[in-house]
Chains A and B, each alone.
Chain A
Amino acid sequence: KAGVTQTPRYLIKTRGQQVTLSCSPISGHRSVSWYQQTPGQGLQFLFEYFSETQRNKGNFPGRFSGRQFSNSRSEMNVSTLELGDSALYLCASSPTRERRATNEKLFFGSGTQLSVL
């Protein structure tokens, strides 16, 4: 099986612009989560989608949004970029069938490195 695929691998944007990142989960996986990784803050949870519905959301401003399509592919969008948005954005998928599944592991993509100038 192909792993989690994230595109593009690198992005350079300027302040005020918007950006869209893409994630294709492992075939058959219906849950997609997004994380922001920075050297100072570590990994911060952004949101999780399952069957095209956002099930969970982290503490990020409304400039961060996402969606999931019927084929489970997901996109996240950041509008009005700020310098502090520079980070590695990681997508992870899991097969999660149960609402409160407790022991399923996440499969991560290699991430999109976003630099805001």
Chain B
Amino acid sequence: AQSVAQPEDQVNVAEGNPLTVKCTYSVSGNPYLFWYVQYPNRGLQFLLKYITGDNLVKGSYGFEAEFNKSQTSFHLKKPSALVSDSALYFCAVRDMSGGYNKLIFGAGTRLAVHP
């Protein structure tokens, strides 16, 4: 079965510093990977996706993610964190079992950016 793991419940970063939110995956076949963000009292918002091609994927709000096949990782990164980036981040993988696709989400990582 397809799955993703987010090993950190929370990541703390000072504003202006680079941030990394980790994600590892386990899939059979080619991985289709996604990052979503959830702000307080809101639904999830799409950040970026990896389907194929360049290992570095650029997304919304200055975020990017690096796909590493040998390490089965898809870490989310941003060169300079903002306080407004504080939110809950979810990594997800597309599961095609059963003939139709659905997203399998990780448990989420809470990002706290301090002034």
Report yes or no: A108 in contact with B44, Cβ–Cβ below 8 A: yes
In the complex, A90→B38 CA distance in Å? 12
A102 CB to nearest B CB, Å: 5
Residues of A90-117 at the interface with B, using a CB-CB cut-off of 8 Å, are 90, 92, 99-103, 105-111
In the complex, A109→B44 CA distance in Å? 8
In the complex, A103→B10 CA distance in Å? 28
Chain A residues within 8 Å of chain B by Cβ, number: 27
Residues of A1-43 at the interface with B, using a CB-CB cut-off of 8 Å, are 4, 6, 33, 35, 41-43
Q: A90-B44, A100-B96, A110-B42 are in contact. Are A105 and B49 (CB under 8 A)?
A: yes
In the complex, A56→B87 CA distance in Å? 29
In the complex, A92→B106 CA distance in Å? 17
Chain B residues with CB under 8 A of A92: 43-44
B70 CB to nearest A CB, Å: 22
- List B residues at the A interface (Cβ < 8 Å): 32, 34, 36, 41-46, 49, 51, 90, 94, 96, 98-108
Q: When A and B form their complex, which 9 residue pairs have the shortest distance between CB atoms, in order from nearest?
A: A108-B43, A43-B105, A42-B107, A105-B46, A108-B44, A55-B100, A56-B100, A103-B51, A110-B43
